[in-house]
Chain A
Amino acid sequence: MDAITCEHVDRIFESKNRMVKALNDVTITVKKGELFGLLGPNGAGKTTLIKILTTLLLPTSGEAHVYGYDVTKDETKIRPIINMVSGGEFSGYGLLTVHENLWMFSQFYGIPGKEANKRIETLMERLGIVHMGDRKIRTLSTGERQKVSIIRAFMTDPRVVFLDEPTLGLDVETARLIRRFIQEWLAQDSQRTVLLTTHYMMEADELCSRIAIINEGKIVALDTPGNLKNMVKKEISLNIEVFPEIRVDWLNTLEGVMGFNSRDAGGNLNLRVVVDNDATVGEVLAGISQRGGKISYLNKEEPTLEDVFLKLTGRGLE
């Protein structure tokens, strides 16, 4: 039995004036013991899928199962074996201390008091906040609060954990600590499973054994990070710094350009372009020059997941 299966899942949101198809024929399978990533930009449907799998939302059509239980009918069987963390969203009560908040949530899973306290202490120590137990939750920093959310989810010893952008808005060190914690937790038991959504490619690349790329509600690719990157091996990935900043919308119509992404870099333009042949490289560079841009840096790079995303969707992740 797989940890998670989704078969042809659709989810449509309807309001008075409009209809949004948040998920479109999503089919994925996540094996037990796997750290599965769902990579996509904001609004791609990642959170909607997590809500369906955590029994907070029903699919409009299709079927989804967690540990063999149907998310539509068997929510009482699924809830004891799952937990979730949403990045940037902090739960609990401001008047309670960190320890009290965690203890309260442990009670919702029926964990006896002593056992709950032991688990909380152990996890707080591992995440480096053991000295913060008596602090009111409202006084914590963003990173500290996120560590509390992580403990809240993992202290119930779930079979499947859903992490929705768990490192959103965190500093590098805290994000690294949380990523390491997730990896270690998973390695301790082969039956544990994590489904992680992120729009940080590095994170997905570093953590996930397999990744599904989701765009506008559709899964556009699903494979290991290595195989996904192989998809763009024959393509050429260019990293170009241009000054002064110029318009680059002409790249949309240039034949051979598979995707591009541009960022402002303090008056300069940081441009990443994926092209499918050497001749197009020349045309891109000539086009920049014709539009008054000067190239201060040019590098042909190893393909990344961002290049995969650019190729598949024609747009960047951020």
Chain B
Amino acid sequence: MAIRSSLWLEYQIEANWTSPVIFILYNTLKPVGGSLLLLAMYYVVTGGFLGGEGLYFLYIGNAFYMLVAQTLFSVGWIIHDDREHYQTMKYLYISPLSYFTYLMGRSAMRFLLSLLPLSVLIGLGILLKIPYRIEILLLIGTFFLGWIFVISAGLLLSGVNMLTARHGNSIGQAFSGIFYLFSGVVFPIHVLPGWASTAALGLPSTYWFSLVRRSVLGKEVDSIMSGFTTGDVAVRLIIISVLFFVISYLTFRLADYLARKKGIIDMSTTY
């Protein structure tokens, strides 16, 4: 019941400001803009839009990254919105619905809503002659594991937001930049300096994006990640995701405790 309420609330907050058509257009323009940016970069270097492992790599990576970026963008804003904009934080806290469940529900709906622009980007990929070899069961599993990883990241971010001031509005977007740079989203991780590619192997997102490529393109072209079998990647992703979730959950609980201890649950920090 609680989950359903928060799913519904997230949908209303994201979508009820306009008509469904504009909402779909709006939801799609941002990811398409991001993809076009990368295509233009590819074009200025290679002189073409079609063909090339590099293009497939960055296009698919970027398309699926939208799930991470858009979900974290919304989740990164929930705490500040509840606390300082709608000023509902304290009421949500004292309601029978746990704030943790509420956050889970809202991030789940955002993740679901982000599947729409992803499918548009996958469709546009056909025009770019992306050689899809979709392994449906693996893809479904990848989505599920991706959701676990993204909500863990969202939980971690929410914990930090509970203790910090509202600055810009793109905290979630900035936070997702960590995964964009260090997870082999738009370039293979071997391009990173040695210490960074080692660090990348500690992030769940690195394995997730590898699974994405394996389930959508049917192969992995990253020279480091292709050293792992699909089973290896899945097992590592599950283990690291569980670990990441536990760390995120504990951080959130600690932040929750500290926020109440310091009396800043309903603080106003605007400037």
Measured CB to CB, the closest approach of chain B to A169, in angstroms, equals 15
Q: Kindly state the separation between the CA atoms of A94 and B270 in the bound complex, as whole angstroms.
A: 6
Q: Kindly state the separation between the CA atoms of A95 and B267 in the bound complex, as whole angstroms.
A: 10
Closest-by-CB residue of A relative to B263 is A139
Q: Kindly state the separation between the CA atoms of A138 and B268 in the bound complex, as whole angstroms.
A: 6
Contact B271 A96 (CB under 8 A): yes
Which residues from 63 to 110 on chain A have a C-beta closer than 8 Å to any C-beta of chain B? 93-96
Q: Kindly state the separation between the CA atoms of A138 and B166 in the bound complex, as whole angstroms.
A: 14
Q: Kindly state the separation between the CA atoms of A93 and B166 in the bound complex, as whole angstroms.
A: 12
Measured CB to CB, the closest approach of chain B to A146, in angstroms, equals 16
> Which chain B positions have C-beta within 8 A of A138?
267-269
**B165 within 8 Å of A by Cβ?**
yes
Which residues from 150 to 175 on chain B have a C-beta closer than 8 Å to any C-beta of chain A? 165
Q: Kindly state the separation between the CA atoms of A96 and B165 in the bound complex, as whole angstroms.
A: 13
Contact with A along B234-271 (1 / 0, CB 8 A): 00000000000000000000000000000000011111
> Which chain B positions have C-beta within 8 A of A96?
271
Measured CB to CB, the closest approach of chain A to B224, in angstroms, equals 45
Measured CB to CB, the closest approach of chain A to B267, in angstroms, equals 5
Q: Kindly state the separation between the CA atoms of A94 and B84 in the bound complex, as whole angstroms.
A: 10
> Which chain B positions have C-beta within 8 A of A93?
268, 270-271
Q: Kindly state the separation between the CA atoms of A138 and B271 in the bound complex, as whole angstroms.
A: 12
Closest-by-CB residue of A relative to B268 is A94
> Which chain A positions have C-beta within 8 A of B165?
95
> Which chain A positions have C-beta within 8 A of B84?
94
Q: Kindly state the separation between the CA atoms of A41 and B271 in the bound complex, as whole angstroms.
A: 35
Closest-by-CB residue of B relative to A137 is B268
Which residues does B use to contact A, with CB under 8 Å?
84, 165, 267-271
| 9 A-B pairs with the lowest CB-CB distances in the bound complex, closest first | A94-B268, A95-B271, A93-B271, A138-B268, A94-B269, A138-B267, A93-B270, A95-B269, A94-B270
Can you sample 15 A-B contacts with CB below 8 Å? A93-B268, A93-B270, A94-B84, A94-B267, A94-B268, A94-B269, A94-B270, A94-B271, A95-B165, A95-B269, A95-B270, A95-B271, A96-B271, A138-B268, A138-B269
Q: A93-B271, A94-B270, A94-B271 are in contact. List 14 more A-B contacts (CB 8 A).
A: A93-B268, A93-B270, A94-B84, A94-B267, A94-B268, A94-B269, A95-B165, A95-B269, A95-B270, A95-B271, A96-B271, A138-B267, A138-B268, A138-B269
